[in-house]
Amino acid sequence: MKRNGSAGILGTGHYVPEKELTNFELETMVDTTDEWIRTRTGIETRHIASPEENTSDLCVNAAQKALEMANITAEEIDFVMVATASPDYVVPSTACLVQNKMGMTKAGAMDISAGCTGYIYALTTAASMVQAGIYKYVLIIGAEILSRLVDWQDRSTCILFGDGAGAAVIGPAEEGFGLLSSDLGSDGSFGNILNIPASGVAERVSHESIDDRRIYIHMDGQDVFKAAVRHMENTTMTALGKAGLTGKDIDMFIAHQANDRIIQALGKKLEIPDEKLFVNVNRYGNTSAASVGIALDEAVRSGRVKHGNNVVLTGFGAGLTWGSDVMRWI
């Protein structure tokens, strides 16, 4: 087994469903207003999957674009990882469904459950596989259909989330480019501030749990907000330190797109100017594990990420989990 040394992103892609749900439409569904949502979250609209679409379908659409950019065929992919909190099934994994749908005949496959930090966990894992010489090309996808897991009667959560997928192909990189450092963390003692109570074997789905609406996302918004800012700041500084960089060296900073107030607070704490902050939460809402991948693809395709740029990804999610990746763009 020959070590490759460096690994980085060779291509990116994203996909969001066609249907949009605006704040004004939400006004007719729950007791809320466009102004209230915009001032507290920055969200204006979000995309909602059609009844015919499943998470694996969103994955395939995003992955095809990433493969095209990377100039890699599905048959060349050695391993595929899907980060999601909304899989098609508990078993089989959504990654196995994607492997089959895309004809990745030689690829291993697994799902990653790290909440909204899933894409960053997948990127770190994939790059490690390539750096170690275990695999040459790894496909990672963060994808969610959270519209089927939110309580559409709960105005505190249903306004926040949207559906989508972001993908990337990870492969060998020139020395000094690609992933420079990463930092991953967790704290399971706060798992109950963002969870779906009846979603596994600890609390089974029953008539009672359905009536109590425990089959949907439950979130303590204030605690999540405070923890998100604190942990994303710390993990970003840790990852930058490992790479021998400071906040002033960042060319593009992409945080998990949960809430514009969180992103702005983070940018202020890290002293990152607005032009180096990427924000698209206004158009997509919180797409959980998909958000960083969608934002990165948009940044790349719009020309805001260029060869040699120092790009930092950071995320925070259910678990609790958090993490950051520092890259020098190929």
Residues with a known catalytic role: 116, 256, 286
Beta strand 79-83 with 138-145: parallel, antiparallel or unpaired? parallel
Calpha distance 285→235 (Å, rounded): 23
How big is the CA angle at 65 (ends 60 and 66), to the nearest 5 degrees? 95
Backbone angles phi and psi of 69, in degrees to 5: -65, -40
> Tokens 């969001």 sit at which residue?
16
Burial (CB count within 10 angstroms: exposed 0-12, middle 13-18, buried 19+), residue 328 = buried
User: Which candidate, 77, 74, 188, places its Cα nearest to that of 129?
Assistant: 77
* Cα angle 16-194-320, degrees, rounded to a multiple of 5: 95
Whether 99 and 109 have beta carbons less than 8 Å apart is answered as: yes
Q: What does the alpha-carbon distance between residue 117 and residue 291 come to, in Å, rounded to a whole number?
A: 9
Handedness of CA 304, 305, 310, 316 (dihedral sign): positive
- CB atoms near residue 302 (< 10 Å): 9
Q: Pick left, alpha or beta for residue 61 (phi over 0 → left; psi -120 to 50 → alpha; otherwise beta).
A: alpha
Q: Indicate the length of the chain as a whole number.
A: 330
Per DSSP, the residues of 288-316 read: GGGHHHHHHHHHHHTT-S-TT-EEEEEEE
Q: How far apart are CA 80 and CA 139, in angstroms?
A: 5
